[in-house]
Amino acid sequence: MLENNVVIEENAGHTLGPIIRKITYAIADPIPGQKVSGFLKEKGYSQQNLVNLKKDEQSILINGNYEHQNYVLQKGDRLTLQIRESESSDGILPAKLPFTIVHEDEDLFVIDKPAGMPIHPSRNNPDNSLGNALAWYMQEKGIPFVFRCINRLDRDTSGLTIVAKHMVSAAVLSRMVAAKSKPDVICKSKLRSGSGLETQGIHREYLAIVQGNVEPPEGVIDAPIARKESACLERVVDSCKGNRAVTHYRKIAEKNGNSLVLLKLETGRTHQIRVHMKYLGYPLIGDFLYNPDYADNQIDRRQDRIENTTMEGGMKKTRLNEQLENKLRSKISENNLQEGSTEIEQEDCQQCEVERLRQYDIRRQALHACRLQFPHPMTGEWMEFTAPLPEDMQWLL
């Protein structure tokens, strides 16, 4: 049994910083001879977690008294862990940015990340990442915070991502990510608090809008992925050098020659969905890297920083540029309007074409992380979160 009603205690005078999480386990039926260290490993604590806890003589209490990790647990014991962290992430500047917290508790955040926001700061994006935003949020609360994102999303992919609040939840969640669980094999009845959580895995679902009418309408893509030679970013299906990658997909709807597809990941390779859908012959709308029709998006994004954007709430808001307008006009001119139609009818028809072809204005791959399912890293409670399709993707439908 896990008791987690105490979350933060101020103890700034301690050399290792304030207690940011206090966790109590009720020991009901211990394994004979099991030490504290073995019990914690069984709960998913990493070896580095144990090393860090060992540095603090006040990190472990048995029945209210300080003990070491070699203490042998007895029936009826109350084991309390005090997790301290004194430092925040180096190199991440706090920045007040808009983002949506779907869930927050003592151990983790679930964030609905907007498109255009990188997960981590970089040379080109030093102060507009999710890391910057959360650093500001925690700074305002006066709590040390090391940014530990668990399931990373590409900059231009929107949707749900998990961020751990402390070293232990980060370790357990990271082991879940590493687990290669099949997305359709989810046995909630077998979930137990702490024990074996990593075998359950983190189950992720995505919505994508792809070019073409996907056939067959559902299936499994089992194709290994590797880095493309002479390219630092692009990936390809490579049966010789690639790592195994498995994606389950199902077409939900088809409109205007495009398909809305639900995808579940069995593995988590870089650009997995984008590479697999291109391999299947249905690249994502807006994908400058894997869809040749949108190669200009890569150039347009650079120009957006200078001349083609307005700023709203710290995030980019694009508008149609001259290149897009020319593309729309050229495509409209290719259509054969009925001879003898009135000027008003032709204008209405052209307006319909403009609306249909505005899909070319999407400045990112049409990919959204819409659902997360996983057991809570500390309590084992089954958790499920969803995020609605963002406006720019709704517009395409």
300 is an active site residue: no
pLDDT of residue 248: 97
Q: What is the pLDDT of residue 321?
A: 44
Higher pLDDT, 37 or 198: 37
Catalytic residue among 112, 154, 287, 392: 154
Percent of the chain residues past pLDDT 90, beyond the cut: 60
Distance linking the first and last C-alpha atoms of the chain: 48
Q: Is the dihedral of CA 154, 234, 180, 34 positive or negative?
A: negative
pLDDT of residue 124: 81
**For all residues of the chain together, what is the average pLDDT?**
82
pLDDT in tens, 301-315: 544 433 333 333 333
Mean pLDDT across the stretch 136-164?
94
Decide if pLDDT at 287 tops 60. yes
How far apart (Å, rounded) are the C-alpha atoms in residues 196 and 55? 26
In this predicted structure, the answer to whether residue 113 has a pLDDT above a threshold of 70 is yes
pLDDT of residue 16: 60
Given a cut of 50, whether residue 182 has pLDDT beyond it is no
CA-nearest of 282, 265, 271 to 232 is: 271
- For 322-349, write each residue's pLDDT tens digit: 444 555 555 555 554 555 556 665 666 6
pLDDT band at 355 (very low <50, low <70, confident <90, very high): low
What integer is the mean pLDDT of 125-149?
A: 93
Handedness of CA 357, 361, 363, 369 (dihedral sign): negative
**pLDDT tens digit sequence for 217-231:** 999 999 999 999 888
Query: In which region does residue 64 sit, left (phi positive, over 0), alpha (psi from -120 to 50) or beta (all else)?
Result: left
Delineate the domains of the chain, giving CATH numbers in brackets: 2-84 (3.10.290.10), 100-200 (3.30.2350.10), 204-291 (3.30.2350.10), 296-361 (no CATH)
Higher pLDDT, 316 or 269: 269
- 333 or 288: whose pLDDT is higher? 288
Give me the pLDDT at residue 347, please: 63
